[in-house]
Structure 1
Amino acid sequence: MAELPLDIARIYLEPAVEDHARGREILARFPEAERIPVASHWRIPELREGDPGDYLAAKKSALVLGVKKGLTFRPNGRSADFIAPSSSNGCAMACAYCYVARRKGHANPISVFVNIEAILAATARHAARQGPKTEPNQVDPHAWVYDLGENGDLSVDAAISGNVRDLVGLFRTLPNAKGSFATKWVNPDLLGYEPQGRTRIRMSLMPPALGKLLDVRTSPMAERIAAIPELHRAGYEMHLNFSPVVLREGWEAEWGALFEELDDILPSAVKEQLAAEIIMLTHNSDLHEVNLAWHPKAEELLWRPDIQEEKVSESGGVNLRYRTGWKGRWLQRFKDLLAARMPYCRVRYAF
């Protein structure tokens, strides 16, 4: 496995962190790291307003510890039925298209929330209130699915604390619910968590050459693909996340080769339960400016005003998406290509 993309030198921590067992556990794991008290995990100017040209430094060397305040659940309907209160925020990776940089303005390293007991209890209560899932939907035919890692990558988080193990353990006990998260990192520790089919991992994939340019500090595609059967044998439900689909000359041949590789490698037991999400690229002018400072080559593919148009998102932000009409045609071509190469792979949703 590739080296973990972390070398923690500084830990920023809220005052209440050491009141929690998880907080003390994490601090003990990094005894050499400098501890810097902060009033809030949200307001750390040196992290949020750093030099854009030094985008990667904080992601590798800084860790933020805080207490999760709002334990709210949001309806979703795409990747999950509900977005659960997150056990973390931010990421050690640096994917050039990541929306987190738009919201935070800079690198946003991992923030881990140490009040995991409260997060677990709130999730259990919410699932209990839902009762049985009586009507199947594209998310899952039987279980209420909770997205656990909307703003980060839980495979990396699992190398920092026991939060992810605790979450997987919780969903073993919830007969009407599943946990779910997308990942771009291969962490063998997950194989020992005993999910018993109650946690879904959505392995994010794109053509390898594209990934080398856009998925900075992540596991190589070959490692991700090789991990899918192992994770499935360990008890995870395995889905695929084809995201983002970035259009460039020869994109159909690139994706077709990826589908063929998956078809060759995935065993029948994985294929029988396989489903996928397809997400076309969404970009943003603020992220464009950030990327120009540290990774301009990526912008040659991501910033394509000739085939993109502005569109207001559900949250009110102005984003760039592939042009209406053309986007639908390109998406259909992608789905047709997938159906031809991997007819057993159900598309749960495409956006």
Structure 2
Amino acid sequence: MPRSAAERLLAIERIYHEPAVLDWARGREVLARFPDAELVEVHSHQDIPGLYGNAGQVDDWVRNKRGVLVLGEKRSLQARPNGRSADFIAPSTSNGCAMACSYCYVPRRKGYANPITVFVNIERILGYLERHVARQGPKPEPNQCDPHDWVYDLGENGDCSVDALVSDNVRDLVDLFARTPGAKGSFATKFVNRDLLDWDPRGGTRVRFSLMPREMSRRLDLRTSPIGERIAAVDDFVAAGYEVHLNFSPVVLHEGWYDEWRDLLREIADVVSPAAREQLACEIIMLTHNEGLHEINLGWHPRGEDLLWRPDLQEPKRSHSGQVNVRYRAAWKRRWLDQLLELVATELPGCRVRYAF
């Protein structure tokens, strides 16, 4: 019998957990989901010897994502102002991902392993969010995030659709925003988890399906849902009560990129229903890559770097944390971004671009 997408993504064999995890109901629930997993107690979910910062782990990049789970407590609760995709970045309920997109920035912080970490003190996180929303009051004026609601980005360092395979944290967040007027949760995803269709979001959660041309996705979006499956899911998620937007990210430039994006936009226009198109909006994010991540990727997926690491098209940019990033050369990037914006307006008319950079 063929394995489901969830079974292909996750087969948890080892769980690293902080001692206090057993004191939380969510921690006990997650452990009960994986009764055959080896349990390894660790002092901190952020410091696991042999897993994080171990160059030898690059050989087990995908194996760790599939077979390892980390459980801990989220100690610092803060909703950070954003202003791009969301008004605020919500405190995370997880970190890491079972998928293996080769451009993902999260491994830069973890070194050579990036499995899912679930935070089990969900009650504290939900309570913090409720109080934060209450302090904001009504949104005074529309902005690019939303015309009416304060938008909170969920799962900044992971994928909520995949997290929902591991715990009920994501469902708790969807339920929170379903009952909270004036606020909306929002997350980007590359995985179609149809279990979410049985929930009751009541318009309080925005799902942003990340899309890129098919061939590019096959080479860079490892272990994700196929692009066609993501596009086909838009109507179903709108019908289930979600707001659905598109996330054209990252835009990876190479010879022939324009024709590939034109074909993708035409497919969206053909597949997505008029009702879903009426509420559709998108964001566009051009690729930023990283020198350290480039070196890591050469150890497990070097073919992807042929597309991501293009010194002939890119220029260095030092981040606030001191890391060496590369982005497309400024003058060229502006020209290419304008071309893509014009293409969206032509092939997907009515789809508002919330922001692009």
Tell me if both proteins adopt one fold, taking TM over 0.5 as the criterion: yes
For residues 315 and 277 of structure 1, what CA distance do their matches in structure 2 show? 25
| Cα offsets for 1:142-191 (capped at 9, x unmatched) | 00000011000000110111111100000012111000000000111100
Unaligned runs of 5+ in 1: none
Alpha-carbon deviation of 1:271?
A: 0.6
Question: Does 1:47 find its partner at 2:60?
Answer: no
Distance 2:90 2:45 in 1: 19
**Which of 2, 7, 10 matches 2:5?**
2
Instruction: Identify the match of residue 265 of structure 1 among 248, 260, 271.
Output: 271
Please state if 1:157 is matched with 2:163.
yes
In the TM superposition, residue 53 of structure 1 has moved relative to its aligned partner by: 2.4
2:175 to 164, 169, 173: 169
Shift of 1:47: 1.7
Quote the Cα distance in structure 2 between the aligned partners of 1:6 and 1:115: 22
Deviation at 1:103, TM superposition (A): 1.5
Q: Deviations over 1:234-278 (max 9, x none)?
A: 000000000000001110111110100000010111110111010
Q: What is the letter of the counterpart of residue 257 of structure 2? A: W
Q: TM-score, normalised by structure 1?
A: 0.98
Q: Which residue of 1 aligns with 2:323?
A: 317
Corresponding residue of 2:80: 74
**2:24 equivalent in structure 1:** 20
Deviation at 1:316, TM superposition (A): 4.2
Structure 1 residue 185 corresponds to structure 2 residue 188: no
Cα distance between partner residues in 2 of 1:164 and 1:208: 28
CA distance in structure 1 between the aligned counterparts of 2:70 and 2:328, rounded to whole angstroms: 36
User: Match for 1:105 among 111, 114, 127?
Assistant: 111
Question: In the aligned structure 1, how far is the partner of 2:183 from the partner of 2:92?
Answer: 16
1:142 counterpart letter in structure 2: H
Shift in alpha-carbon separation, 1:143–1:301, aligned structure 2, 3 A: same
3-state SS, counterpart of residue 114 of structure 2: coil
Calculate the aligned-residue CA RMSD, in Å.
1.0
Deviations 1:30-79 (A, max 9, x none): 00000000000000122212421221110000000001000111000111
Provide the rounded CA distance (Å) in 2 between the counterparts of 1:7 and 1:21. 22
> Counterpart in 2 of 1:90?
96
Choose which of 30, 36, 57 in structure 2 pairs with 1:32.
36
- Mapped to 2, the partners of 1:259 and 1:107 lie a distance apart of 34
Contact 2:51 2:57 in 1 (8 A): no
Identity rate, percent: 64
The equivalent residue for 1:294 is: 300
Structure-1 separation of matches of 2:147 and 2:188: 19
2:256 and 2:156 map into 1 onto residues whose CA distance is 31
**Matches of 2:252 and 2:356 in 1, distance apart?**
14
TM superposition shift of 1:124: 0.4
* Amino acid of the structure 1 residue aligned with 2:264: L
> Quick one: which amino acid aligns to residue 30 of structure 1?
F
Counterpart of 2:170 in structure 1: which amino acid?
Answer: V
In 1, Cα distance between the equivalents of 2:344 and 2:296? 33
Secondary structure in structure 1 of the residue aligned to 2:327 = strand
Q: Distance in 2 between matches of 1:315 and 1:167?
A: 30
How much does 1:318 deviate? 2.5
CA distance in 1, matches of 2:171, 2:319: 34
1:59 aligned partner: 65
Contact 2:57 2:113 in 1 (8 A): no
Q: After the TM superposition, which segments of 4 or more aligned residues of structure 1 sit over 2 Å from their partners?
A: 1-4, 312-318
User: 2:6–2:165: 8 Å Cα contact kept in structure 1?
Assistant: no
